[in-house]
């Protein structure tokens, strides 16, 4: 995301906020669906930005200046590639399979 000489902050909206949301979500930050759909920089987006800034030892202003944007871009670029499609997580299931009588089922 390139900020074009302006910072992103609370109550802003638009394409750059949408890009910010996508990148923050990729980094594991919770962005509420309402803010995501409306492309609005709300209180929870601000909270996520502050947390990111704290993790990078930046002043936690909650404002995305170009330096913060560059660090977010670098962090997302360093992520391993995600498989295409809606499922990007993998799961491990462990346990025992038992029959209706409670006995273990042979594997």
- The predicted-structure confidence for 27-39, as pLDDT tens digits, reads as follows 999 999 999 999 9
Question: Which of these, 40, 61, 65, 41, lies nearest to 50 by C-alpha position?
Answer: 61
Q: Does the pTM of the predicted model rise above 0.95?
A: no
CATH number given to 1-107: 1.10.101.10
Query: How many Cα neighbours within 13 Å face the side chain of 22?
Result: 9
Sign for the CA dihedral angle at 34, 51, 26, 6 comes to positive
Domain positions in the chain are 1-107
Tokens coding 80: 């391993």
DSSP one-letter code for 56: T
What are 43-100's pLDDT values in tens digits?
Answer: 999 999 999 999 999 999 999 999 999 999 999 999 888 766 665 556 667 777 888 8
């Amino acid at each position: 995301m390139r900020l074009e000489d302006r910072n992103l902050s609370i109550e802003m909206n638009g394409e750059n906020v949408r890009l910010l949301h996508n990148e923050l979500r990729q980094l594991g930050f919770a962005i509420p669906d309402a803010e995501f759909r409306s492309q609005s920089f709300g209180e929870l987006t601000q909270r996520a930005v502050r947390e990111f800034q704290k993790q990078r030892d930046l002043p936690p202003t909650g404002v995305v200046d170009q330096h913060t944007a560059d660090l977010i871009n670098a962090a997302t670029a360093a992520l391993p590639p995600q498989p295409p499609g809606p499922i990007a997580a993998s799961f491990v299931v462990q346990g025992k399979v038992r029959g209706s009588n409670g006995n273990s089922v042979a594997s």
